């Protein structure tokens, strides 16, 4: 049952082979059984899930079921959920019960999904290994000594271990695609503005975007149908019609052009990963796609630009956590300065503090032009690179990460090497483009992800090309041992 994808579960529910309550109970049982070793959930909303599952069954009995009615999913703990703890992986919000639902949560609820719980994540989504979470590291179901990736590591581990059919994630520099890659899943970061950010706790506002993590591309399409759309509460969401993202999945991709950025296939990329990606490219050739080399000349600047812009925005976004209105407050502050200093020193972890300090620095008088302004100009160059590239190709293909999952603790003392694990995913956020990671093979029994990048609002084509790969391969059907 838990190996089935959403499309299959939806059919079973429709055929009344199983009820949503039974399905939900099954996944809750699996969470109880397995999550102690994985640490993928921060909160399990068992009672709430069973209650809404019952409502979904009632709805179905009345003949009012939609494709996602009664399908359990997990929510990354970055999305505000009314009346339910929303921690963002931080001690700062360990006591925070959100007073409202994020738009994405509302939409998925309205589509009929059942929330199983809130998944673990890097603190405030800052991290690539889920080791910065206040709630501890998430373990990779493929090998418990390895990281699940981050920041949506809890979501990815939960889906990979079949503790949830699918989960939500957020992606600021790769936080959906990288954990999806490291856990052998399909993950989609939509175009910036496609999915509302309202109620999604901000890390870097101009880069953050929510999206699905699932076993298959088709499931991602089904979830995106429910998640996407204009939201009057988010000024940066785009008022553009939402197509049925499953409609074009089965179209032939014969004659479509796939670009390989030469800068992504250079030093830093592990030989084993490159071999996996090269054989994936062969599959595309067999499907009739035209492969060509392209250039994204400013690629090398994307990590530096990102590590100015994202911390700058984060330093401002996280200023609200001051111990005054909600969240962590230090014990017995003697005055206002003490309240601020200790609440923030004690409430935030070291990676968050590092980024707040970098961000504060780059926005300071006298440094703004040299860092923030320059990074914004660089960002434009990076975006222009992609604009040029999409004049020639339909999608861009690359590895998602330079290496497979690394060992827990391996990079915690070396932030630069940690930051470089997002080297292929970051530019996509800077350019606001949609990007996917899908399973493309294994190295040392650890999954390898292939990244596909689409043009702005080109999710349909992107999903089509990704789905065609999954028709002819079975990497996405592999199950980690013991789950």
Partner 1 sequence: MSKIEWEVVIGLEVHAQLATKTKIFSAAPTQFGAEPNTQACAIDLGMPGVLPVLNKETVEMAIKFGLGANAAITRKSVFARKNYFYPDLPKGYQISQYELPVVGKGYVDIELDDGSVKRINITRAHLEEDAGKSLHEDFHGLTGIDLNRAGTPLLEIVSEPDMRSAKEAVAYLKTIHSLVRYLEICDGNMQEGSFRCDANVSVRPKGEEKYGTRTELKNINSFRFVERAINYEVERQINVIEGGGKITQETRLYNPDKNETRPMRSKEEANDYRYFPDPDLLPLIIDEELIEQVRNELPELPQQKRQRFMDQYGLSAYDAGILVSSKDMAAFYENVVKESGDQPKLAANWIISELLGALNKAGLELDASPISSAQLGKLITRIADNTISGKIAKTIFDALWNQEGDVDEIIEKRGLKQVSDTGAIEKLIDEIMAANPEQVAAYRAGKDKLFGFFVGQAMKVSGGKLNPGQLNELLKKKLQG
Residues noted as catalytic:
76, 151, 175
Q: How far is the CB of 309 from partner 1 (least distance, A)?
A: 9
Taking CB under 8 A as the binding criterion, the range among 144-152, 209-217, 281-289, 357-365 that sits at the site for partner 1 is 357-365
Name the residue nearer to partner 1 (CB basis): 233 or 392.
233
- Gap between the Cα atoms of 432 and 315, Å rounded: 21
Work out whether 331 is an interface residue with partner 1 (CB under 8 A).
Answer: no
Instruction: Write out the binding residues for partner 1, residues 55-84 only, by CB under 8 A.
Output: 79-80
Q: State the DSSP string of 139-157.
A: EETTEEEEE--SSSHHHHH
Work out whether 235 is an interface residue with partner 1 (CB under 8 A).
Answer: yes
Name the residue nearer to partner 1 (CB basis): 230 or 483.
230
Of 324, 357, 370, 471, the one binding partner 1 by CB under 8 A? 324
Taking CB under 8 A as the binding criterion, the range among 49-57, 214-222, 227-235, 449-457 that sits at the site for partner 1 is 227-235
First to last CA, the chain: 12
Name the residue nearer to partner 1 (CB basis): 158 or 202.
202
Q: Which residues, other chains included, contact 251 with Cβ-Cβ below 8 Å and sequence gap of 6+?
A: 464
Please state, as a whole number, how many other Cβ atoms lie within 10 Å of the Cβ of residue 367.
14
Work out whether 109 is an interface residue with partner 1 (CB under 8 A).
Answer: no
Instruction: Write out the binding residues for partner 1, residues 178-207 only, by CB under 8 A.
Output: 197-202, 204-206
Of 11, 14, 110, 319, the one binding partner 1 by CB under 8 A? 319
| Among candidate residues 108, 79, 43, the one with its CA nearest the CA of residue 201 | 79
> What phi, psi does 407 have (nearest 5°)?
-70, 145
Put residue 98 in one of left, alpha, beta given phi > 0 → left and psi -120 to 50 → alpha. beta
- Gap between the Cα atoms of 445 and 458, Å rounded: 33
Q: How far is the CB of 92 from partner 1 (least distance, A)?
A: 9
Name the residue nearer to partner 1 (CB basis): 294 or 356.
356
Of 98, 276, 446, 450, the one binding partner 1 by CB under 8 A? 98
Return the ∠ at Cα 135 (arms to 130 and 140), rounded to 5°. 40
Work out whether 364 is an interface residue with partner 1 (CB under 8 A).
Answer: yes
Q: How far is the CB of 325 from partner 1 (least distance, A)?
A: 6
Q: State the DSSP string of 354-405.
A: HHHHHHHHHHSTTTTIIIIIHHHHHHHHHHHHHHHHTTT-SEEEEESSSSSP
Of 15, 241, 365, 416, the one binding partner 1 by CB under 8 A? 365
Of 59, 97, 290, 363, the one binding partner 1 by CB under 8 A? 363
Work out whether 14 is an interface residue with partner 1 (CB under 8 A).
Answer: no
467 half-sphere exposure, CB direction, 13 A CA radius: 21
Name the residue nearer to partner 1 (CB basis): 215 or 379.
379
Name the residue nearer to partner 1 (CB basis): 289 or 312.
312
Kindly state the helix (H) or strand (E) to which residue 75 belongs, with its residue range.
Answer: strand 72-76
Please state, as a whole number, how many other Cβ atoms lie within 10 Å of the Cβ of residue 83.
12
Q: How far is the CB of 150 from partner 1 (least distance, A)?
A: 19
Size of the site for partner 1 (CB under 8 A): 43
Taking CB under 8 A as the binding criterion, the range among 179-187, 267-275, 364-372, 395-403 that sits at the site for partner 1 is 364-372
Answer for the pair 87, 42: CB distance below 8 angstroms, yes or no.
Answer: yes
Name the residue nearer to partner 1 (CB basis): 61 or 373.
373
Please state, as a whole number, how many other Cβ atoms lie within 10 Å of the Cβ of residue 452.
26
What interhelical angle do 374-389 and 302-317 show, nearest 10? 120
| Strand, coil or helix: 284 | helix
Q: State the DSSP string of 413-446.
A: T-HHHHHGGGTTTHHHHHHT--EEEEEEEEETTE
Work out whether 338 is an interface residue with partner 1 (CB under 8 A).
Answer: no
Question: 75: burial class by Cβ within 10 Å (0-12, 13-18, 19+)?
Answer: buried
Taking CB under 8 A as the binding criterion, the range among 248-256, 360-368, 401-409, 474-482 that sits at the site for partner 1 is 360-368
Taking CB under 8 A as the binding criterion, the range among 61-69, 85-93, 274-282, 432-440 that sits at the site for partner 1 is 85-93
Name the residue nearer to partner 1 (CB basis): 93 or 167.
93
Residue numbers at the binding site for partner 1 (CB under 8 A): 79-80, 86, 88, 93, 96, 98-100, 102, 197-202, 204-206, 232-236, 312-313, 315-316, 318-320, 322, 324-326, 336, 340, 360, 363-365, 368, 372
């Amino acid at each position: 049952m838990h190996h089935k994808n959403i499309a299959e579960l939806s059919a079973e529910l429709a055929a009344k082979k199983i009820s949503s309550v039974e399905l939900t109970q099954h996944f809750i049982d699996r969470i109880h059984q397995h999550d102690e070793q994985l640490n993928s959930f921060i909160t399990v909303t068992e009672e709430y899930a069973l209650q809404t599952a019952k409502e979904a069954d009632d709805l179905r009995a009345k003949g009012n079921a939609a494709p996602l009615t009664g399908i359990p999913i997990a929510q990354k703990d970055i999305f505000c959920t009314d009346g339910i703890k929303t921690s963002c992986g931080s001690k700062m919000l360990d006591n925070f019960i959100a007073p409202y639902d994020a738009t994405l949560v509302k939409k998925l609820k309205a589509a009929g999904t059942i929330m199983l719980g809130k998944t673990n994540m890097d603190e405030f989504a800052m991290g690539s290994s889920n080791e910065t979470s206040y709630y501890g590291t998430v373990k990779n179901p493929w090998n418990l000594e390895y990281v699940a990736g981050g920041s949506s590591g809890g979501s990815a581990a939960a889906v990979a271990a079949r503790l949830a059919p699918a989960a939500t994630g957020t992606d600021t520099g790769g936080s959906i695609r990288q954990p999806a890659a490291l856990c052998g899943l399909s993950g989609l970061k939509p175009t910036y503005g496609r999915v509302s950010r309202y109620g999604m706790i901000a890390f870097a506002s101009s880069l953050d975007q929510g999206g699905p993590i699932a076993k298959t591309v088709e499931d991602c399409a089904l979830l995106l149908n429910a998640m996407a759309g204009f939201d009057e509460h988010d000024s940066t969401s785009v008022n553009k019609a939402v197509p049925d993202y499953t409609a074009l999945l089965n179209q032939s991709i014969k004659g479509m052009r796939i670009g390989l950025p030469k800068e992504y296939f250079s030093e830093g990329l592990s030989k084993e990963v490159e071999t996996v990606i090269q054989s994936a490219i062969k599959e595309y050739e067999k499907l009739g796609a035209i492969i060509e080399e392209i250039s994204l000349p400013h690629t090398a600047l994307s990590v530096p630009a990102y590590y100015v812009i994202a911390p700058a925005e984060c330093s401002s976004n996280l200023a609200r956590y001051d111990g005054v209105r909600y969240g962590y407050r230090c014990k017995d502050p003697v005055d206002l300065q003490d309240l601020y200093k200790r609440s923030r020193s004690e409430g935030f972890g070291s990676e968050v503090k590092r980024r707040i300090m970098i961000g504060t620095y780059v926005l300071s008088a006298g440094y703004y032009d040299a860092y923030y302004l320059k990074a914004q100009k660089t960002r434009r160059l990076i975006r222009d690179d992609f604009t040029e590239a999409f004049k020639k190709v339909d999608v861009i293909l690359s590895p998602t990460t330079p290496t497979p999952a690394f060992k827990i603790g391996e990079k915690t003392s070396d932030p630069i090497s940690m930051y470089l694990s997002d080297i292929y995913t970051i530019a996509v956020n800077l350019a606001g483009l949609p990007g996917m990671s899908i399973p493309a093979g294994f190295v040392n029994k650890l999954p390898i992800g292939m990244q596909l990048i689409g043009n702005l609002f080109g999710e349909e084509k992107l999903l089509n090309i990704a789905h065609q790969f999954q028709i002819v391969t079975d990497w996405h059907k592999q199950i980690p041992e013991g789950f």
